Structure 1
Amino acid sequence: MRVTRVWSAQACGVAFPALLAVAAYAVPAAAQDLKIRSPIIDVHELEFENNFVLGRSKNTVHELEYGFNDWLKLGVEAELAADPGQGLHYDSTALESFLQLTPQGKYWADVGLFAEYEHTARQGDPRSLTIGPLVQKEVPLLGLNTLNTINALFIKQMGAGSVGPLSLQMATQSVVLLDPHFAPGMEYYGIVTLGEHGDEPQHRIGPAFVGRVGFRELGLDAPGGIRYDAAYLRGLTGTTQPNTFRFRFELEFPL
């Protein structure tokens, strides 16, 4: 789960405003997974990821993933969550898979498929199944190279405690590839309820940055490195949390 890319230019692609137009219908942050997933898989790489989201409510997600080959990566994650004024508690466990559907750079865009099964900790809470495409494209813009990513994930609750129809969660990111260590940009998140009696639409958008530093750059005689990204997100509707900060770092170990 990352923004991975060879830092070189590619021809034409998709502009970030177009991504926002696609995603402009969107839902509650507490139910939303604030992260950007890349369709690119690094073969035989073990990844330990930590994602922190801070707002009125808080949650942390810790994941272990491994790229078995150039088309399959599997992972397991545990989530801790806290309601406003409460301490963190174990909230859920999830099993996830990534399929890279196109060789990197061969077609108009890099495309993957993500699937996740989540089992909640509290008895009676609904389980959920998430599945959807991951799309990434490098675009030249005003003499600079930008990397644009869309995650369009369909989420369905299951079990006796499930409520509501199918929902569509959108996550988009566009960054300017200035340097491998620091690439600034923007992120947008939202959810659409695909049916009647859904929650009120919510939107959040804000500045972001991504980067990577190798272990050898830090003076460690080892392959791999640390990948990181962060975003400050402003709610665009009255029912959205007004301010949310997210930070993620990932330790990468080629095996």
Structure 2
Amino acid sequence: MRRKHPVFFISLLGLTASSQGFADGLAVDRVYEPYVNPLEKELEYRRVEVNRSESGRQRDSIQKLGFAAAVSDRLALEAYIIDDDLGEKTIDAFELEARYQLTEQGEYSADWGLMLEYEKQRENKETELAATVIIAKQIKRFTTTVNASLIYENLGNDKVEWDSQLNAQLRYMYHPHLEPAIEFYAGEDYRGIGPAAMGTIRFSNANSLHWQLGSIFGLDQDSEDVVIRFLLEYEFY
């Protein structure tokens, strides 16, 4: 049984993130949960559409295709290929992720996880390493999830940058097929907030299809006007 404590632990103040110089270098992406389902495998498609009213390119898009597998009851590994989709159908980068569930669900007042990421550009020497702390807290039918990341970027020619990133989500568990949410993303040159929706359709063989759709609106002049994110994930055993 999940313990219920009247503690709302999230603070968005003082945490910022950088818009990264990689193919998938957008502050808006997804909000990860800390949980790992033993023996589960996943096929994932993710797409982000960006509208920039004051840029020469009015619309950019980035897409990812990934495969994940739980290698133990607490550790999941995932690999992605990334395409910036700017007119050329090419693979622009590769990404590897390792996500570890630190605590049992409901063991403490919040559930904790840790994720490590490695990304490599295909045509240059740019690489990125990121460590993300994942925190989830459930109060009745509301779940709050925070991803706080520290990012190391090697841009080549001895140029190195350190950044931080914050993604947060407040989700209402209305129905397994439909869970409305509000998401917040922070970046050095980006602040955005907006509505999202997600749901899971379960099949008779214990497999499932998970979907997410969000529309994030920039909060200042430096932020993209609108970012649309879409995720489709097929989970099987």
Q: TM-score, normalised by structure 1?
A: 0.81
Identity value in percent: 24
Whole-Å Cα distance in 1 between the matches of residues 155 and 12 of structure 2? 33
Residue by residue, what CA displacement relative to the aligned partner does 1:57-105 show, whole Å, maximum 9, x if unpaired?
110011101111221111111111034xx34432110111011110111
Which residue of the partner structure matches residue 56 of structure 2? none
Is 1:21 matched up with 2:4? no
Which residue of the partner structure matches residue 142 of structure 2? 146
Aligned 1:79-94 pairs, distance under 5 A: 79-83=82-86, 86-94=87-95
Opposite residue 12 of structure 2, the aligned amino acid is: L
- Aligned residues of 2:3 and 2:109 also touching (Cα < 8 A): no
CA RMSD across the alignment: 2.1
Opposite residue 180 of structure 1, the aligned amino acid is: P
- Aligned residues of 2:17 and 2:163 also touching (Cα < 8 A): no
Which residue of the partner structure matches residue 128 of structure 1? 128
Aligned 1:165-184 pairs, distance under 5 A: 165-184=161-180
* 1:14–1:228 distance in 2 versus 1, CA, 3 Å: farther
Which residue of the partner structure matches residue 251 of structure 1? 234
Which residue of the partner structure matches residue 70 of structure 2? 67
Compute the displacement of 1:153 (Å): 1.1
Higher helix share: 1
Which residue of the partner structure matches residue 215 of structure 1? 203
Whole-Å Cα distance in 2 between the matches of residues 90 and 162 of structure 1? 25
Which residue of the partner structure matches residue 103 of structure 2? 102
Whole-Å Cα distance in 1 between the matches of residues 33 and 158 of structure 2? 29
Whole-Å Cα distance in 1 between the matches of residues 7 and 197 of structure 2? 19
SS in 1 for 2:44: strand
Which residue of the partner structure matches residue 42 of structure 1? 37
- Aligned residues of 2:154 and 2:161 also touching (Cα < 8 A): no
Which residue of the partner structure matches residue 184 of structure 2? 188
Q: TM-score, normalised by structure 2?
A: 0.87
Opposite residue 45 of structure 2, the aligned amino acid is: N
Opposite residue 247 of structure 1, the aligned amino acid is: F
Q: Size of the alignment, in residue pairs?
A: 225
Is 1:53 matched up with 2:44? no
- Aligned residues of 1:93 and 1:120 also touching (Cα < 8 A): yes
Residue by residue, what CA displacement relative to the aligned partner does 1:32-60 show, whole Å, maximum 9, x if unpaired?
35111111000000111111101121100
Whole-Å Cα distance in 1 between the matches of residues 220 and 25 of structure 2? 16
Q: Which range moves more in the overlay, 172-181 or 158-167?
A: 158-167
* 1:163–1:14 distance in 2 versus 1, CA, 3 Å: farther
SS in 2 for 1:187: strand
Unpaired runs of at least 5, structure 1 = 1-7, 193-200, 217-221
